[in-house]
Structures are given as structure tokens and as C-alpha cells.
Structure 1
Amino acid sequence: MTDDRPTPALTHLAEAHGIATEYWSFFGDRVVVPAATLRAILTAMGVDTSTDAAITAAAASAADGPWRELLPPSVVSRPGAGTIVVHVADAHDVTLSVALEDGAWRDLALPEQHPSARLVDGVLRWRLEVPVPADLPLGWHTLWAWQRPFGGGDVDRTASAPFVVTPERLAPVPARADKGGRGWGLMAQLYSVRSRGSWGMGDFADMGDLAAVAGAQGADFLLVNPIHAAEVTPRIEPSPYLPATRRFLAPLYVRPEDIREAGYLDAAGRAALDAARAPVAAHDTDPGRIDRDAVWLAKRAALEAVFAVPRSAGRAAQLAAFTAREGQPLLDFALWCALEEHYDGVERPAEARDIGSPLVARLRAEVDDRVRFHVWLQWIADQQVETAQAAAHAAGMTIGIMHDLAVGVHTLGSDAWSLRDMYAPGITVGAPPDMYNQQGQNWNQPPWLPAALARAGYAPLRDMIRTLLRHAGALRIDHVIGLFRLWWIPAGLGPGAGTYVRYDHEAMIGVLTLEAQRAGAVLIGEDLGLVEPWVRDYLSARGILGTSVLWFEQDGDRPRPPEQYREALLATVNTHDLPPTAGYLADEHVALRARLGLLTRPVEDELADAEREREAMLAVLRERGLIRPDATAQNAEVEIIEALNVLIAASPSRLLGVALVDAVGERRVQNQPGTDLEYPNWQIPLADSAGAAVLVEDLPANERFLSLTAAVDRALRR
């Protein structure tokens, strides 16, 4: 077997670019990352590793590069924290100023001493570390530097850089005083929650109505799955965690009848809209699989008819203002949608995959009508999400809609196309091997290039967060550790041959907190699994809540008392990757994995482990008097599920999440990890314990829903 251990020079070069050259595995082993992995990742970063001489030259460039620049690519800092690094040629003065976001200017005081110097390209350059003033306003500013020779000569060098000043800590979670400053909310997969007005799957109108129903029960938020845009031609990716873009919204969730212009359709147009809806709406009470392709084809036909209705002067002005505000990124996304339609079912030339190609430039004009249609769809989606958030607040919610941010995007999606220079070519992200996935995981999502993000001043991250928080009160960040480090997997090497690449978490988290503060929103980081302990402390110090799942909170072989949970948490009984509690109590999760051939041990062993885990939890509930002494999973399912949700209310956690599937008795899992086509992941509509579909209109009279939500609300008001 060939030794693929990296040379010291390659190791040094990789570490200079934030690439882990060794790590400790889930199983406690020290793993040295193969040279092939390091070379592939460095190549994706634009670093030449083809020869030993190239590696030596790249290492020198990495060391000298920052010294050649008057200012760094961008600076993200908290007021009074950190420094601005300036590199000035010997025998030169420098002036440093900030162009503030509001148009004012602020001169910065330079240090009296130069900490260090370096000879680069034959020129001695001094490194100045300028303290960030404590009284700088938060915001998106611009740094300017002017270098001139000693004695007042003319400026011979000018530089500018984005300068982002971010909050030290987010404000506390808003909650009603009668709940001790805490709150609870409902968690739902939006596509699964239908009503009698739906088009075969849940939509933005259903989101607003569900928020109103939950708010009437005392809920403070409604957490929904990511609503990022997916494909616009079949097959539409079912997973909301593998979107085409994270910047724009999914028109799949638009309710056509709620668009103002739909009211101006003539009789034939209205009849056509009703005819388009009828086949998919007929499945609203069907507990079987949701068909996104059929829903979108029906909606698209109706939406095209509504789009053709002339808009009033006021509506036209609103659309124009929205388009101008969203700018070129919106036009590029709409172009991607139009090209997806243009090439639907047709071989696509390689040139079409390059947004800057002459072919794409020519097609931009040819498909302009479709571009305008997809721009309009984003405007409509934005308005309907705004309406849903208004409904949440009207129902008394203190937070309202809580969106979910996916880890990344599809390799063939809009973001990977229009922001190609921001992503690492030939790389996808995933997770290293662990006890559940011994080969590791590949999520087939391209990672952002850390250096490209810095050069862009983190604008892509900012713009993405602004869209999600424009009409929301909170944002859950899936796999928040990805803002600190990601597991990069070079193409062809397999998940186990990847390694971690670090990001500037101070910058990434800073941008998040700035945008959240401006939106008055709460941030929650999904920090389950292998997370370095200091990360949780760091997030808490910045005012970002963590995540806790009851079944994962263990103290040895017993459940951890909820009183020992962290305060800065969103605590829940389960999550979308676990079976609903009713299914868990009935061993549905073991039966399903057995049917799918996913078990690596005899089914009897799996059932025995599930029984031990379940009995340990029931023992805690009995000890606390939350269930009857003789209650079992077989004779007291409703009682136990209610007790589990009341149990986590004993924690000091700021927020509690109640799964809608638990509130109605659903048993089917939404997502079975380790499967693709074997199981209808992300396609299961909401149903009760008998398998009957549950609609939004049914919830206000659903005894199980009312009892569980009332019990949680009472537990917080004690």
C-alpha cells in the first residue's frame, strides 16, 4: 500500500489555509489526513500543489500575501474588540478613515508604534494594528486607507475594504412575563400541513393559519422547515435541506388565489384556475405521499394566468421597488429558473452552465418574459410570507415565524451557478464516519470558499439572512458548526477521506447577529452531535441559543434531568430526523429500519435497546408523577407524550418546541436517515394515530392537540 502521508511542506501549506491536517475521529483515533485530500482541497482553493516547488512558492505567497495589501479583504469586528491590520511601506505615512453606513466619515487614530516589519518583494513593510473604537456604530461601513511618503508627498496608494461592526450580544428572547420570560412554539414541516384551501401540500397561507391556531393556544413561535427555492421543473428535490438557493423563497408554497390580481381574472380565467387546482386539491385529505411535481405543474399554470393580469399603478410600483431592492442576484436567480425551463428535457450545452458565457448573455434576452415571471413570483412569495408573519403576531405570538436555514445548496442549483466563484469546485460537504454512518456522509453540497467570502465582505451571507429575517421573528441554523468548520470531501475520494476546513466564525457569526439585531430576531443554532465544547460557550456569549433534544440528553445510562439543561436553548422532545414520539413508543422506527434493510444487528437486539431506553424515560416520568404508575407505551400513549413535553418545561431553557406530529399522534417519520429512494423522505403529509389526514381547520377542535398545547402552556405559567 502506498504511503500517502503529507510532507511537512504540504502540511504547513494546508494549515496556512485553515485545512485540518489531522483530527480525532468519533472512535477516538488520531487520523492523519492523506496528502491526496490536502492537495485536492488546496487546488479547489486556487492553490497550486502540482510540484514541490509549487508548494514552496504557494507557502511563501500565503505568508507574504497579506503584507502586500494595504488593507485586508474585509474586517468584521465588535465595537472596541479586535484590531484593523494595515501594512504600510517603509518611510510612508498612512491615513485611515471609516465611511459610515449613514454617509458620515470617521478618522481612526493610529498606534504610536509599529509592532513588526517584513521585507516583501524587496520593500520593507510595517504592520500596524489599529484598535477598533468602542463607540463605532453597528453597521455595514467601508474602511479607507491612503498611503503617502513621509514629509507630505502625494498619495501613492489607496485601498478600501468592507468594515462590518457587529453586536457584542443579541437581546434576550422576547417572551411574555406570565411565562417567566420563556416561551414555547409549534414545530412543523410546512409542506405536510394542509387545509381545505391547499393545492395538495401546505403553503404560505397554511403557515399563517397554523400560526394563528398555535398562537391562540399560547404559542410564541411557529418553526417551519426551510422554505428556500428548489427546482422549477420536475423532478423537484423533496428535501428542503437541499435547495437550489438559500437566498430566495420557494414559489411552490404560494397560494395563487391569495394574489390580488387573481381577483381580477375573468370567468374563463377563474375557471381555468379552479380546473388547475382540482386534481391536486383532491389529495388534501389523502394521507399518502405528497407529489411536489404535480403540485408545481398545477400551480405554475395558474400563476402564469394571474401574472398575465394587468397590475395597477400602485402594484406595478411595488414590484419595481422590490426588483430594484433585490438587484442583480434576483435577476440572476430568475434567469436560472428560466434556463431550467428552457432546457427542460433537452441536452444542455456546457456553456450554459457558465453565467458569464456569451450563450447565457444571449439567452438572457431571449427568455426575458420568463425572467420577469420568476421575478414576480419572488415578489408574491415575499408578500405572502409577510402576511403569515402578520397573522402570527395578530394571534399573540411574541416571535412569530421561525425559519430554518439549510446547511448548503444543490451542486446544480442557482446559487452554485450564479455565485460559482464563491464555491469550491470539485468539493462537497458532509460528515466524517461515526457509529451510525461508518463510511461517513456526503450531503452533495458545495462549500463556500472562506477567502472568497472575505473578499466579498460576507455580502452573500448577509443577503441570505436578510431575506429569511425580513418577515420572521427567529432563525434556526441547521448544523451551526458549519459556520466554524465544515467537512470537505474531494470528488472521487469518498466521505471518509475528507477533512475539516475552518471558517472565520467571528465574521460569520458577527454578520448573523448584526442582521438578526436589525430584524429584532432570535437566532438558534442546531449544535447537536460532534461540536467542540467551546463553540457552545461562544454562541451563548453572543446571545445565540443552542438546541437540545430530550432523547439525546443522557447522563450515563439515565436521562439527564431537565433542570441540568442549558438556559440558552431551544429544548424539544424530538426532531425531524427522529420518529414522532407515538411511532417511537410503538417501535415503528425499528420496524421501518428492519423493512428497509438498514439494521446492522438482529432486530431483537434493536427492540431490546429501544425498550431499555423507553423504560428509563418512563421511570423518570413516574418518579415525577407525570404519568400514572401503571402507564405503559401500550396503554397510555397520549398521556406519555404529553408528559414528555411537560418534562422539558422543568428545564431552564428559554424556548420549548412542541412537534406538531406529536400533538396529533402521527407515527410516520418525515426523514429516515440513510435512505433516498427507499423511503418517501420529506413527502409525508400530517396524519393522526389512525392514519387519517389532519388539516389545519381540524386543529382547533382536535382534543389531542388542544390537550398537549394547553399542558405545555400551563407548565410554563407555573
Structure 2
Amino acid sequence: MGLSRLAALHGVATSFSPPDGAPAPVPERTVVAVLGALGVDATTPEAVRAALAAAESAARDRLLPDTVVVWSGDPLPPALTALPPGTELTVAPEGNGGREAEATLRVPAGEPGAAGPRPDGEPETPAAPAWWTEPPLGVHRLTVRAPDREARSCTLVVAPPRAPQPPGRGHGFLVQLYSLLSARSWGMGDLGDLADLASWSGRRLGCGFVQVNPLHAAVPGAPTDPSPYRPSSRRFPDPVHLRVESVPEYGHVADPAALDALRRKGAELRDAVLDKGALIDRDAVRDLKHRALDLILAVPLTPGRHAAYCDFLAGQGRALEDHALWCALAEVHGPDWRGWPDGLRDPRSDATARARAELLDRVDHHCRLAWLTDTQLAEAQRAAREAGMPVGIVHDLAVGVHPSGADTWAQQDVFAPGMSVGAPPDAFNARGQDWGLPPWRPDALAASGYAPFRDLLRGLLAHAGALRIDHVMGLFRLWWVPEGRPPTEGTYVGYDAEAMLAVLVLEAHRAGAAVLGEDLGTVEPGVREALARRGVLGTSVLWFERDWAGDGRPLAPERWRADCLATATTHDLPSTAARLTGDHVTLRHRLGLLSGPPDEERRRDGAETAQWLALFARLGLLPEGVPGLPPEGGDEEAAVRAVHRFLRRTPARLTGVWLPDTVGDRRPQNLPGTCDEYPNWRLPVADAEGRPVTLEQLAASPRLHRLMDVLRPARDGG
């Protein structure tokens, strides 16, 4: 009982409810391990009693939590309305150097904020009490002094009620940037290709956005982890995405012949992918680009560019210094900081300070790379907006970072040691999942006023028209798996969703950017409603939108939610052509991933697809005729167009077109449950026969234009 109470006080679940199953207890050793990662000793009954007494005493004595949220125009939270009479509150804006902007408020005698029932008996929404004056939107330091109590300071977040919304309805492309090669790429898609895709699709196809994969900095190594969802740092982009020729100093290197030789090798890497069936080789691309950038960064900056670089350094501050130092140290000691010499494992140690001085040139080198990448990200968003896109580039925030990367080194105090994020067992994966990503500590986030989350969002939103949050349910809770244990022996740890959402909405408001949440899979009750209330759009994938509360048939278009991005597929799912033809079942059978007999899986999959096609036919979305299914044959391209006609028939604010779908690509970019068995994250966009397709060929593709014509007439519709 004591352990359960202690766990509850720290947001650690002692049981969980799998979909369609009875509540299952969490192993006690898991609860003890998770509490230990939160700094709470629960290893013995005596330790549990002591920790519980300390936690309950702290809860009684605490006037306010570490972070308090006020939604502008909404009733005050109970934490403020329950303050005792005579309490004095001082509100100071964050970063305020003087006291001239501070405001002092005092709680008078009586019940502040109390509200009686309305005549109809319904409770009345409490108005703000007379003593309260709402501070400006932003983050503030709130100091509270109550009679006979010690003064207490906390963070006050004042957020707008909702995140900005996309203007009207619109459509756009979803693409993994590395997979989009052009005639100018060095073996993988780059930021120049992104700018070109945005400019072309905005001007010629009426697209309102381009959504890309996370462009976070990867952990260097041989081989580099190809997944963009397991980066070294989410705070800074990866220079591997640079268009080398677009760096202004490119034309002024001391040895242009050496640079041109590297450019030709980059072209060879590109041609190997496009013409010879080679996989995208990030390590080879990274090596070539870094050698080229070594030559380019030796060119002195002009006075104007040097001033711009200094402004960038000042704006990024210590976060960039830490990131660049980690990169420099990784060149010397390897990319896993947990194996570095003792002194260097602490970013604030004397040994690390000495290393910073010794490696100053390399630190500056990596700062320059971050600046160059930032400038090209800005250019891509500028190209999108100049092409008429109301949203532009939609960046993607991965759910976590690599355990040995730059972020976990620089921010060790906010990551839970010995823990990994994953997913509990469910109907699709009875063994659960371990994603190998260390989670943030909710207590450390709250104590810091969510500064790491705020800084992360501010950087990502700097050049974004919208931000996609991968596994947005992680704002509410995450499944923690203790190191060395299977995912089945994890548990949920809760986060202060009000605070996480308030920070997200505030930063989106400051950037004027929309927010999309990837809310697929197991979603606890109330999460989608909370996200919608704060203006966070969801994600609706066609094949999953069924009447689950009724007969399970495909959901009619008018019953779809409006506040979402509607799409036919994602990077983790089969392409639309593969889904329609059943090729995805064949692929999973070949790799031994089917849970049942192949014939039964094909029958069930074919029956589900037939239901959708029948609905399309009833709605008149198949003017070319109802296609059959293999082996009977049929017009696959017409069916792909029908899928997207259906998506536009829904009220969804945004319609996303998976770029490989425009040319009939059969292969998924990532096949969950595989590692070496399938080339995840290394495939170029290809046509129905598996031939790679360049950006130039995409722009000229009749199949692409026929598909996009389905969406263009309704671009400005309701």
C-alpha cells in the first residue's frame, strides 16, 4: 500500500489496462526501478516509509507546484484560487533585468474566485477574482509570500487558449527528405531539394505545405543509425542535409579542384542510388560533405556574414556551445559519451572546460555548421512562403533522443537514468516495444519551468509553418522500460500535460505556427479532446478510420473529425499502392512478420480493402470504374486517386499526400519490427516498378499530376 501511494505521488502507474483487456499489475521491481530513476529510494520497506513521509510533508507544505499554468481568458487554476487570504504574489517576466515590469498582487480575505451555482443548478464557471490581474502571455517568475509560510518561487506560464490554426483548408506533400534526390543531390535529398520541392509544388500544384521527417542531428559513427527518430540532438539540425554548393563561401575555396573532385564523388553516390539500385548511404554522404565543408569553412567570412554568425552564436548561447563541444569530443573519444574519460562525462567539469579550450577550433567548426544549416532551413521556409504556401515547411519533432548523444550529455539532469521509452503490449505487438530513447524526468522539467522543452520548441519553430509532434500522447504519459527488462515489464509515467501543452501552445503562438499531433495507436481517454481544445490538430489515416463503436465498417467522410491532417499513409505504413494490391502482406510474409497463415492474412486484408473500394464506388469517387483486386487485376492508379478524392470529401483541415504515392511506389520507408531484414530509412522515392524517381522526374510525372488534380479544385473550398 505504501509503495502504491508513493508511486501515485510521483506519477508512476502500478497497473495498466491493455486494449480490450483486464487491468494488469506492474511488477513491483519495475515500480522500484522507475522511482529510483526519479531520485526516490523505494528499495526497502523502511525506505518507502521515509520517502512517503517526505513526499506527503512536501505536498502539505507546498503553496504552489513548481510550474503553474494560466490559460488566457480561462478560469484560474485551483493552485491560485486556493491560496490563503493575505498571500502576496510578485510576478516578474522571465529575463526581466529590472523590477519596473514586476506586478504585486494580494489575496484579500474571503474565498477568491469562488462562484455559486446558476439558477438552473449548473455550476457557474468562476470568473477571475477581483485581486487577479492577468500577466502578459509568456513565462514569468512567480514569488508567493503567505502569512506564517516561507516565501516560495515557481514558474508561471501564461498561454493563449489555442495554438494558431492553418488558414482555411489545404493539401500538401509528406516526404522523407533523404529519399528525395535531384540532379544536384550528393547521394541523398538535401535542403536545396526541399526548397525546390516547396517552390514548385506551391506554385504549380497549389500545395499549402510540405511535411518532412525530423532533421535532427544524428549520432556520428560507422554505421550511423539511419533512423531520423533516434537522433543525437533534437535541438540542432544535422549538417548532412546541407546543399554544399549553396554555401556562399563555396566559390572562394583555396583549392577548387579538390572541392570539385568531392562534388563529382557526390554525384557518383547519387547516380549509384538512381541508376544502380544502391541504398542511400548516409555515412558516405556525411564523409564527403564534411570533407568539402572543411575546405569551405577555411574561407574567411565577409564582415556582414561574420556579424550574422556572431548574432546566431549569441542567440543560441550555451546550448550550441555544448552541442558543438560534444561533436568535437566525439571526434576524439567516440560518439558514446558514457565511455569517455571520467572528467569529460560531466559537461560542467574542469576537465571539460580544459577540453573546450583545447578543441576551440573544432567547437567553432561545428557551430559554423549549425549556423549554415539554420540558414538553409530559413531559405527553404522562405521559398515555400514566396511560392504562396500559407503554411510552408512542417517540421517533425521526434519523441526522444539517442542515449549516448549530445542532448543526454548536456542535459543529464533532466533525463531519467537507466530508463527507455517504449510501448506496452497490445493487440498488434504482444511483446511491447522498447524504442531505446531515454525519457525526460517530469519532476526535473517542472522544476526548470520546462526550460528544456521551451528551448527545443523555439529552435524547431524558428523556420517552420507548423510542427508535427511524434507520439503526441507523450505530453501526457510515456511507457518507461527499465534497462535490461523486456517492454512487458514497463509502466506508464505521467507528465503535467497542462504545463506541456501550455508551453507548446505559447511557443507556437510566438512563432505563428500550427501544431500537428501524431495521435495514432493506443490513446488514453480524454487525450484527443484535450489536444483539440488547445488547437492541436490530430492525424487521421484512412485505413484506421472505422466505426469502432459500431459495426467496424469504414467511417463515412462526413463523420471524420475536422481538426486533423487526413492522409492515406505514413512513413511507418505501407504505401497506398501496396495497401490496395496486397503487396504489403506479401512483403511481411517474405520477412516472417505475419501473425497468422499468409492465405488468411491476404483474405482478411483483401476484405478490408474491398470495403473501402465499395464505399468509394457508392460515393461516386471511382468514375474510371471499380478496380478489382489481385489476382483479378484492376486500375490501381484510379483507386489511388479515389482514396484521395475521399480524403478531400472529409472535413479535415489538411490533406497530406505521401509523395511516393504520386508515382506508385510499393515500398514502405520503414517497416516496424525489422532491423537488418529490411532497408529502413535508406530507400529513394521510386515508381511502381521500383525505379528511383528524381525530383525533376516527379515534376514531369503525368501520374503525379493526375493525382494532384484530384485535390486542386477543392483547394480553397470549405
TM over 0.5, yes or no?
Answer: yes
The 3 A distance-change label for structure 1 pair 135 and 94 is closer
Deviates more, 1:503-512 or 1:52-61: 52-61
Q: CA deviation at 1:284?
A: 5.0
Give the structure 1 partner of residue 328 of structure 2. Answer: 338
Q: Secondary structure at the match of 2:272?
A: coil
Equivalent residue in structure 2 for 1:310, among 300, 304, 307: 300
Residue 584 in structure 1 maps to residue 583 in structure 2: no
Matches within 5 A, 1:324-403: 324-344=314-334, 348-403=340-395
State the partner residue of 1:639: 638
AA partner of residue 20 (structure 1):
A
- For residues 345 and 554 of structure 1, do their structure 2 counterparts lie closer, same or farther at Cα, with a shift above 3 Å needed? closer
> Structure 1: where are the runs of 5+ without partners?
1-7, 116-128, 150-155, 175-180
Contact 1:562 1:647 (8 Å CA) reproduced: yes
Q: Does the aligned pair in 2 maintain the 1:430–1:441 contact within 8 Å?
A: yes
The offset of 1:272, in angstroms, is: 4.5
Rounded Cα–Cα distance in structure 1 between residues aligned with 2:452 and 2:251: 37
Aligned residue type for 1:568: D
Q: Does 2:104 match 1:107?
A: yes
TM (norm. structure 1) is 0.91
Q: Is the 8 A contact 2:136 2:158 kept in 1?
A: yes
Question: What is the aligned length?
Answer: 685
- Give matches, 1:480-559, under 5 Å: 480-555=472-547, 556-559=551-554
What SS does the corresponding residue of 1:15 show, helix, strand or coil?
A: helix
CA separation in 2, counterparts of 1:585 and 1:238? 28
Read off the aligned partner of 2:3 and give its amino acid letter.
Answer: L
Give 1:361 shift. Answer: 2.8
Which residue number in structure 2 is paired with residue 679 of structure 1? 678
> 1:405·1:475 contact (CA, 8 Å) conserved in 2?
yes
Alignment partner of 1:289 out of 259, 275, 279: 279
User: Residue 197 of structure 1 aligns with which residue?
Assistant: 184
Moved more, 612-621 or 134-143: 134-143
- Aligned counterparts, 1:261-300, within 5 A: 261-266=249-254, 267-283=256-272, 285-286=274-275, 287-300=277-290
| Runs of at least 5 residues in structure 2 that lack an aligned partner in the other structure | 113-127
Shift in Å, 1:130: 8.8
User: How far apart, CA to CA, are the structure 1 residues paired with 2:83 and 2:195?
Assistant: 59
Shift in CA distance, 536/43, structure 1 to aligned 2, threshold 3 Å = same
1:617 aligned onto 2:612: yes
Q: Distance in 1 between matches of 2:81 and 2:38?
A: 24
Matched to 2:238, the amino acid is A
Partners of 2:132 and 2:328 in 1: CA distance: 48
Q: Which amino acid aligns with 2:634?
A: N
User: How far apart are the structure 2 equivalents of 1:343 and 1:135?
Assistant: 51
Partner SS, residue 503 of structure 2: helix
Is the 1:83–1:132 Cα contact (8 Å) retained in structure 2? Answer: no
Do 1:250 and 1:381's aligned partners in 2 also have CA atoms closer than 8 Å? yes
1:228: which partner in 2? 216
1:435 is the counterpart of 2:427:
yes
Give the aligned partner of residue 570 of structure 1: 565
Deviations along 1:4-50, one digit per CA (max 9) or x if unpaired, are xxxx0100100111111122112412111121111011011000112
Q: 1:241 aligns with which of 207, 210, 229?
A: 229
Q: Cα–Cα, structure 1 residues 23 and 148, in superposed 2: closer, same or farther, change >3 Å?
A: closer
- Three-state SS of the structure 2 residue aligned to 1:626 is coil
Q: Check whether the contact 1:71–1:87 (CA below 8 A) recurs between aligned residues.
A: no
Distance 1:278 1:716, change over 3 A: closer
How far did residue 476 of structure 1 move? 0.9
The TM-score, its normalising length taken from structure 2, stands at: 0.91
Instruction: Pick which of 270-279 and 708-717 moved more.
Output: 270-279
Paired with 2:377 and 2:266, the residues of 1 have a C-alpha distance of 21
Change (3 A) 1:457 1:659: same
Structure-2 separation of matches of 1:132 and 1:691: 68
Distance 1:133 1:257, change over 3 A: farther
Residue 547 of structure 1: SS of its match in structure 2?
A: strand
Alpha-carbon distance, 1:357 to partner: 3.8
CA contact (8 A) 1:288 1:685 kept: no
Counterpart Cα distance in 2 of 1:626 and 1:84: 52
The 1:50/1:270 distance shift into structure 2, 3 A limit, reads closer
CA deviation vs aligned residue, 1:357-386 (integer Å, no higher than 9, x gap):
443333222222111111111101110000
CA contact (8 A) 1:285 1:694 kept: yes
1:418 counterpart = 2:407: no
Distance 1:691 1:94 in 2: 70
- Residue 207 (structure 1) aligns with: 194
SS in 1 for 2:363: helix
What SS is found at the alignment partner of 1:559? coil
**Cα-Cα RMSD:** 2.4
Q: Report what 2:116 is aligned to.
A: none
| Superimposed CA distance per residue, residues 623-677 of structure 1 (whole angstroms, 9 cap, x where no aligned partner) | 1222244422432111110110110111111111111011111111111110111
The one-letter amino acid of 1:36's match is R
> What letter matches 1:195 in structure 2?
S
SS at match of 2:162: coil
- Show CA shifts across 1:673-710 (max 9, x none): 10111111111111111222211122221111111112
Q: How does 1:591-630 map to 2 (within 5 A)?
A: 591-627=586-622, 628-630=624-626
2-structure distance, mates of 1:435, 1:190:
32
Show the 5 A alignment for 1:659-678: 659-678=658-677
Matches within 5 A, 1:691-702: 691-702=690-701
SS in 2 for 1:622: helix
Equivalence for 2:170:
183
* SS across alignment from 1:246: strand
| Residue of structure 1 equivalent to 2:125 | none
Write the distance in 1 (CA, Å) between the matches of 2:636 and 2:429. Answer: 31
Distance of 1:89 and 1:165 partners within structure 2? 18
Q: 1:244 to 1:133 in 2, by over 3 A?
A: farther
Contact preservation (8 Å) 1:109, 1:130: no
Preserved contact between residue 88 and residue 94 of structure 1 (Cα < 8 Å): no
Cα deviations across residues 389-408 of structure 1 (Å, max 9, x unaligned)? 01111111000000111111
The 2-side partners of 1:344 and 1:464 are apart by 25
- Gap change, CA 1:132 and 1:211, over 3 Å in 2: farther
CA distance in 2, matches of 1:639, 1:268: 50
| 2:187–2:267 Cα contact (<8 Å) kept | no
Mapped contact 1:430–1:444 kept (Cα < 8 A): yes
Q: Which moved more, 1:581-590 or 1:502-511?
A: 581-590
The answer on whether the counterparts of 2:89 and 2:105 sit within 8 Å (CA) in structure 1 is yes
Contact 1:465 1:515 in 2 (8 A): yes
Structure 1 residue aligned with 2:156: 163
Q: CA deviation at 1:157?
A: 5.5
1:356 positional shift: 3.3
Worse overlay, 58-67 or 279-288: 279-288
Residue 323 of structure 1: which of 298, 313, 317 is its match? Answer: 313
Contact 1:138 1:165 in 2 (8 A): yes
Code of the residue aligned with 2:192 in structure 1: it is: A
1:68–1:87 CA contact under 8 A, matched in 2: no
Deviation at 1:599, TM superposition (A): 1.6
Give distance in 2, aligned partners of 1:666 and 1:420. Answer: 42
